[in-house]
Structure 1
Amino acid sequence: MNSTIATISSQLQLTHQAFGNSPSVSHILTPKMVTWQHGDEDTMILNVDGSALANLGKVGYGGLISKHDGNFQLGFFESVGIFNILHAEIQALWIGIKLCWEAGYKKLMCYSDSLHVVQLVSTDTPRFHHYANILKLIGNYLAKDLTVTIYHILREGNSCADVLAKLGLMVHNILSRSMNLPLIYHLF
């Protein structure tokens, strides 16, 4: 891996020398660790993701809820029909927060690899936005007696939710829930 980084670094330096404006290559290629953040003992972790076969194709979503120490509590996935990926990502967050509320969890750290969704939920959405209704449903949960923090996570750190979202592509419009992680593994 170090030789690959050195090769890329060398090629990047040559490119910047040829076209000017040469920034520090070490700054650009600084490796970043993808780590899982956890809260205190009363915090539940919600990871969500959407999956699409194509833009305006079949989409699904999935997610998992775990305790602050990483112990799996619940996995979920569903197909939502023919939409775009943004719809699946928003739907995943809404259903995930809803399931946490129904289970009585009051403090959540939510992770989505869709920066767009994190930004939409973190700002005032125009009422004529295409997904204003689902975003309003999320806002309704955020207004309840619930502490929710929503973070953007790199795709590499959200791989478990990605697997469940891909399962969502395979089912037929049924919200599937499992408290049994080995059962989810056997679906493959």
Structure 2
Amino acid sequence: MKLNVDGSARGNSRVGGGGGACMDHQGSLVFSFHNKYGSITNNIAEAQAMVDGLKICADKELNNIIMEIDSRIIHEAVSNLFHSCGWKLWYRLEIIHQFVQPLNLRFSHTLREGNSVADGLAKIASSGAPDKTYICLIPILSGAPQF
């Protein structure tokens, strides 16, 4: 599974939101989401979007997750679990790291162009749209017939 997430804040420390999309190994959508966060910074919005996406993965019992994010700062922070960041970010990094082993989670940095769907969902959320999660209705089955 590949989970792309992004955070957005309209003017740093203003209305923010996050979003993401999870695809299976064939590129089919498994779920997507967007959540508004209120007054938040870009980095906190990015980290919160990671938490939100991972909670959905855990709820749906998905594993072997490659999480792609386009923020180099957050990628480095989550990969090295920075202890010198502010407590709001550190708290979210701690939550993210609780998912690493159960979900067989790996992190990857991607360019902004590779994260356009998550970016669009995050912008919808930061525009003030209501929180929404979309779940694919087709079950993911290994060996399922291809149509």
- TM bucket, shorter chain: 0.7 to 0.9
* 1:139 corresponds to which of 89, 97, 107: 97
| Whole-angstrom distance in 1 between the partners of 2:26 and 2:86 | 37
State the number of aligned residues.
135
After superposition, residues 167-182 of structure 1 pair within 5 angstroms as 167-171=124-128, 175-179=131-135
The structure with the largest helix share of the pair is 1
Partner of 2:30: 73
| Whole-angstrom distance in 2 between the partners of 1:101 and 1:85 | 25
Amino acid at match of 1:52: A
Deviation per CA, 1:90-127, whole angstroms, max 9, x where unpaired?
Answer: 00111111111111112101100011111111113217
Structure 1 stretch displaced more, 149-158 or 126-135: 126-135
Q: Which runs of 4+ in 1 moved over 2 A?
A: 127-130
- Taking only the aligned residue pairs, the percentage that are identical comes to 31
| Whole-angstrom distance in 2 between the partners of 1:128 and 1:163 | 27
Deviation per CA, 1:60-102, whole angstroms, max 9, x where unpaired?
Answer: 1100011011101111001100111001100011111111111
Q: Provide TM-score, normalisation by structure 2.
A: 0.85
Structure 1 regions of 5+ residues with no counterpart? 1-43, 181-188
After superposition, residues 129-168 of structure 1 pair within 5 angstroms as 129-130=86-87, 131-143=89-101, 145-168=102-125
Q: Which has the larger radius of gyration?
A: 1
Amino acid at match of 1:134: R
* Superposition deviation, residue 45 in structure 1: 0.8
* 1:121 corresponds to which of 68, 78, 86: 78
The question of whether the paired residues in 1 share the 8 Å contact of 2:81 and 2:93 is answered with no
Partner of 1:40: none
| Whole-angstrom distance in 2 between the partners of 1:122 and 1:57 | 27
Structure 2 regions of 5+ residues with no counterpart? 137-147
Q: Provide TM-score, normalisation by structure 1.
A: 0.67
Q: CA RMSD in A?
A: 1.6
